[in-house]
Amino acid sequence: MRLKERIAKLFSRSEGIRITFLENDDGLASSRRSLLAGNLLSGMFSSLISGVFLTSLILSMMQDSPTVKQNSFLGSVTMISLASGLAQIVAPLIMERFPRRKKLLLILRGIYHLLNIVLLGVIPILPVDLDVRLWFFLGVHLIASLIVQISSAAFSVWHVSDLPNRTRASYFSIVNMLSPMITSLLATGASFFLDHMKDGGNGYLGLLILRGVALIFAGLEIVAFTGIKEPEYAPSPKRSIVGMLTLPFRTPRYLLTVSLTLIYSFGANFTGQYFTAYLLEDVGLSYALISGITLTSIPIYFIAYPVWTRIIGRISWLRTLALATTLYLTPYLFNAFTTSDRWYFYPISAISAYVFAPGITLVFANLPYMNLPEANQTSYIAFYSTVGNVAGFVSSLAAKAFVTATTGNDIGFFGAAFQNRQFLNFIPCVTLLLTALISLLIDAFQKKKENGGSAEPKGA
């Protein structure tokens, strides 16, 4: 039996995989396979250039700068990423002018990779003053972020088209099991490699090599996206920016789902890259240890995602979100109490996050498509993403102001003293509790409104 046939036979034993990727009743199985490959490759190149590796690139460029300047610049990078989300407001005005958008989206994706992977990587060695390099870095980062935001809503519409309700939960569950496993292995191997290069005095060269590998994955991602079948877009009336901003307010049920991302995004973006820098500089953890801990996510996710998928089917999407966000207080509390003497709190935090995060991830993956009207889908999804980015931007602005104002001062809380980058972890605890409460209120409101009608299946 050929390898391809053996893989198909293995996959066919899982009903979710069979329905989503093998059966072709709707003619979109091949498109979903391409979508899966593209999403996995996106995670692969991102794992080599973002997170701890992006922080390391910035710190290597600013190694002789004072800590307060490093913190300020890290905050600026985070703020730009989130502020660029405002561009999604104008995305429908651009994208809906094109009856076919696939070629444009792929060109924009290619430009993004060249800016984000190649150009950002070489800025630290440009023969100009540090301040000039910093401004150039922010400018390139801003342009790359704008490209992503303008095209992201149009990419999301493909998810709606290629993932009908009967395949959506299975697809997101499979993606969120496979992607962390692959990216964890990549990030861990990359971290050991970078530690080795850093010990030999070649840390920056190691970062450049990782970006070279990331560029290969980025090219394969574009190839995978070419295999996605572009949907037939529902006709949408021409609207102004004001019209698109007010459109969701005429759809109260969709507006309720947007309120969840508003609250959650504020807390989720509050720590930014500050806590990563704190782990590297103050706690003294190595790249290999931080990334190596992620390997534990592989067996945990293979158990956790199916469990959370079943929970969604039994108690509904929103009640699952309330449960998961409440439990997710645990990793933030352990992070807050992590010090150089209690460094082992971080592995405990990470493992607990791997157990509880799938419940949040699955619900938020589906949240933009809940109660989504047939027409103007690009506008609705752009509005949803913009609200999340605005909340994240305000959050990062507040976090930067807080860290800048408190650098060098300990903060007394609950009878203990916290470094300012530790203390940031308490803010998401508040927003997680608010998210849980609002999820339960919306769920109760929707059930009350549907009472007497044909209720939607819990796991739909």
Least confident of 131-145, 183-197, 256-270, 366-380: 366-380
More confident: 1 or 130: 130
Least confident of 8-12, 221-225, 303-307, 341-345: 8-12
Least confident of 143-147, 187-191, 246-250: 246-250
What whole-number distance in Å separates Cα of residue 190 and Cα of residue 210? Answer: 7
Q: Considering the entire predicted model, what is its pTM? A: 0.64
Per-residue pLDDT tens digits for 15-30: 556 555 666 565 667 7
How confident is residue 243, by pLDDT bands cut at 50, 70 and 90? low
- Residues near 129 by beta carbon (within 8 Å), at least 6 away in sequence: none
> What is the reported pLDDT for 348?
92
- Residue 224 CA, chain-centre distance (Å), reads 20
Task: Judge contact between 159 and 95, C-beta under 8 A.
Answer: no
Q: Which residue ranges form the domains of the chain, and what is each CATH number? A: 7-449 (1.20.1250.20)
Give the SS3 label for residue 412.
strand
> What is the reported pLDDT for 13?
44
Number of separate helices (H) and strands (E) present in the chain: 22, 2
> What is the reported pLDDT for 353?
92
Classify residue 280 by its DSSP letter.
I
Task: Judge contact between 100 and 114, C-beta under 8 A.
Answer: no
- Residues near 17 by beta carbon (within 8 Å), at least 6 away in sequence: 11, 170, 174
Per-residue pLDDT tens digits for 179-220: 877 887 888 888 888 888 888 888 889 999 999 999 999 999
Give the SS3 label for residue 147.
helix
Task: Judge contact between 296 and 188, C-beta under 8 A.
Answer: no
More confident: 277 or 324: 324
| pLDDT exceeds 50 at position 460 | no
Task: Judge contact between 68 and 404, C-beta under 8 A.
Answer: yes
The H-assigned helical ranges of 337-408 are 345-366, 377-406
Identity (one letter) of the amino acid at 222?
Answer: I
> What is the reported pLDDT for 221?
92
- Residues near 368 by beta carbon (within 8 Å), at least 6 away in sequence: 156, 257, 380, 381, 384, 385
More confident: 316 or 228: 316
Report the percentage of the chain scoring pLDDT > 70: 78
- How far does the chain reach from its first CA to its final CA, in angstroms? 37
- Residues near 74 by beta carbon (within 8 Å), at least 6 away in sequence: 55, 58, 272, 273, 274, 277
How confident is residue 1, by pLDDT bands cut at 50, 70 and 90? very low
Least confident of 111-125, 291-305, 426-440: 291-305
